Amino acid sequence: MDMWTTEKMPDQTGKSVVITGANSGIGFETALALYKAGANVILTGRDADAVGNAAVKIAIAEGSGSVSQGILDLSSFQSIERFTDRFLAEHQKLDLLINNAGVMTPPESKTTEGFEQQFGVNFLGHFMLTAKLFPLLKKVKGARIVTLSSGAHHYAKGIDYDNLKIEKGYDAFREYAISKLADLLFTTGLQKRIDQLGFDLLSVAAHPGVTKSGLARHMAKADYDAALEQFGDLMPAWQGALPSLFAATSAEVNKGAYYGPDGENELFGYPAPARLSEAASSEKLADELWAFAENRTGLIFPF
């Protein structure tokens, strides 16, 4: 695959896009690139001021799209309900949903519904959001759902359903890895169900490699410094956003696929197919996770 950058991105004029966690880092750069390509971009995030500031920065950039904003806290089912109810009332279609928002290795914490924060935000909140917005996505031939994962998913061999509310203790990185495995199982599980129902939709995943962003804000300084020593300088956020943008727009994308940087160990570089772990490739694990998510959210999706 030739080196892919935003210069190769197809025109996005008229397309409507929802991006979670779009106020900073990779989410912001993803939104900015799509705006410049002509898309109508809806930025979402928890903090109204942060989302508003991001929207202003994008609106003054050179581009032919439009930008609007919505408040969405993925750690709260009630917040997801509020956002999606309003969105469904105000919009007729949705071309692209980018499940970008993420939490990485925070102090022990839980969502409103009592789930471990990383699992709750990175996977369960995005499952619910996608389910609620699916009626608008399925109206658009070729619509896409892009879900962000991480190379950290290789460290998770499965999902411990007996510890998703921290019943047995908390390990920040272990829980992060499990949440990112869940994102990949969601991606492939969603594509399987889309195909079964005969919809013309793509569910794909991407990861940014090692990128400079606010995601690492919870890392201890010693751990962060050690990472810098191991990896050298991190990629800028605009480059870390390229796998997401490739997955969202390229005609070369395959359904149910996973994309990341093309360099050694997928840490740096430009978009290319990424490697799924054995666990992430398991249809059995994906079906178990799907049943769990439907049970906990009360959403039978996408049927």
Catalytic residues: 176
| Helical packing angle, 283-297 and 126-137, nearest 10° | 90
Q: Give 164's strand partners.
A: none
Could you give the 3-state DSSP secondary structure of residue 21?
coil
- Residue in this structure with the two tokens 């013309």, named with its chain if needed: 200
CA dihedral 275, 246, 147, 187 (to 10 degrees): -60
DSSP 116: B
- State the pairing for strand pair 271-273/258-261: antiparallel
**Residue 105 CA: distances (Å) to CA of 51, 60, 142, 220:** 23, 34, 35, 10
Tokens linked to 271: 């978009």
**How many angstroms from the chain centroid is the CA of residue 72?**
14
d(CA 64, CA 72): 25
Do 211 and 303 form a contact (C-beta atoms < 8 A)?
no
Contact 159, 182 (CB under 8 A): yes
